[in-house]
Amino acid sequence: MLPRIADSLSFLYTEAVRIVQDDTGVCAQVEGPRGIDRVYIPTAALACVLLGPGTSITQPAMATFARHGTSLVCVGAGGVRSYAGILPAALTTAWLEKQVRAWASDEERLQVAIRMYEKRFGSLSVPGEVTLAKLRGLEGQRIKALYRLLTTKYGIKRFKRNYDPEAWDDQDPVNKALSAANACIYGVVHAAVLALGCSPALGFVHNGTQMAFVYDIADLYKARVTIPLAFSLHASADPEREARRRLREDFRALKLMPQIVADIQSLLDPSNEGARVTDRSADVVHLWDPQAGALPAGVNYGFDAGSVEISDLDEWE
């Protein structure tokens, strides 16, 4: 049995390695002074692998990741920026269908967006008649207050959030750590979204990008995880690497992967608390019917009562 996505290790970041499949398993090869070093990757236990610059991967290795349901996410240097993800094929569409139904209805989409803000605010209740514009304003105030609190806590004279990939080396350690940590959490959330069979593109707060839903879900945890982590690294000599290492520890300590899966499911279907789909195995394929609902696939319906007779097909030619 493959591990459930909720029980998986969070992520592995790779850079300047060659990932191959050999007789033993999938390994990352690194050229060193004494030849080629090999590090074997626990493919079935990983939620995702972040493929950084200089990484190459062979087709057999990719096929193994796909069979094990491990997502591959192409990222920029240091894990900053997430460019693309590879979707494992053996997934049920149950949660994708729930997501599409909620996204396609303006009323249901608004309710999902409100539930997302409620999760961000924690114990604070959201007024019934509140608008999305008001919620965005409240969220902005909350993040500014958190920045001020952490700036005071760590004795930082001044902080302004700044993300400029073109001038990356000029960023201060907090901004570097925050961007790197956010990129990692995007990769992990992306893996959870794909593992549930949902679409990363169909967001409820964010819109217009293939990562909209990933950004929606990742925003639930930034104030609790990545922002405090980044400020704690204000004096680090290598904030990007340290942020990735510390974030892996936080994922284990906070049990964040099971939380991500449970949050996605409760956001899309709050009434279905008792029936969680957290494994990677696909259900048997069904056929859709507007009257009967789901019908089993792999069945020849040519002799069903009421079906079209072969002689009737001549009229369609």
The pLDDT tens digits of the residues spanning 201-216 come to: 999 999 999 889 999 9
| Residues composing the chain | 317
Choices 1.20.120.920, 1.10.8.60, 3.30.420.110, 1.25.10.10: CATH for 94-268 = 1.20.120.920
Tell me which fold the domain 5-86 belongs to. Answer: Ribosomal Protein L15; Chain: K; domain 2 (3.100.10)
Give the H/E segment covering residue 121: helix 106-121
The long-range contacts involving 142-146, CB below 8 angstroms and separated by at least 24 positions, are: 142/223, 143/223, 143/227, 146/223, 146/227
Band of residue 279 on the pLDDT scale cut at 50, 70, 90: very low
Do 218 and 189 touch, CB atoms closer than 8 A? yes
Lowest-confidence pick of 78-87, 144-153, 170-179:
78-87
Residue in this structure with the two tokens 């839903």, named with its chain if needed: 213
Q: Show me where the domains of the chain are located.
A: 5-86, 94-268, 288-312
Q: What is residue 281's predicted lDDT score, i.e. its pLDDT? A: 42
Lowest-confidence pick of 117-126, 161-170, 302-311:
302-311
> What's the whole-number mean pLDDT along residues 19-40?
89
Q: What is residue 94's predicted lDDT score, i.e. its pLDDT? A: 84
Q: What is the mean pLDDT of the chain?
A: 80
Percent of the chain with pLDDT over 70: 75
The backbone torsions φ and ψ at residue 63, rounded to the nearest 5 degrees and listed phi first, read -65, -35
More confident residue, 245 or 284: 245
Q: What is residue 202's predicted lDDT score, i.e. its pLDDT? A: 96
> What's the whole-number mean pLDDT along residues 276-285?
46
Distance CA 209, CA 216 (A): 11
Q: What is residue 299's predicted lDDT score, i.e. its pLDDT? A: 61
Name the token pair of 46: 């990983």
More confident residue, 254 or 316: 254
> What's the whole-number mean pLDDT along residues 282-287?
54
Q: What is residue 132's predicted lDDT score, i.e. its pLDDT? A: 83
Do 274 and 27 touch, CB atoms closer than 8 A? no
Q: What is residue 288's predicted lDDT score, i.e. its pLDDT? A: 67
- Name which of 81, 236, 250 is nearest 174 in CA terms: 236
> What's the whole-number mean pLDDT along residues 274-301?
57
> What's the whole-number mean pLDDT along residues 170-199?
85
Who contacts 218 (Cβ-Cβ below 8 Å, separation ≥6)?
182, 185, 186, 189
Is 239 in a helix, a strand, or coil?
Answer: helix
More confident residue, 125 or 313: 125
Order of strands across the sheet with 82-86? 9-14, 46-51, 71-75, 82-86
Distance CA 110, CA 186 (A): 23
Q: What is residue 2's predicted lDDT score, i.e. its pLDDT? A: 41
Give the H/E segment covering residue 181: helix 173-195
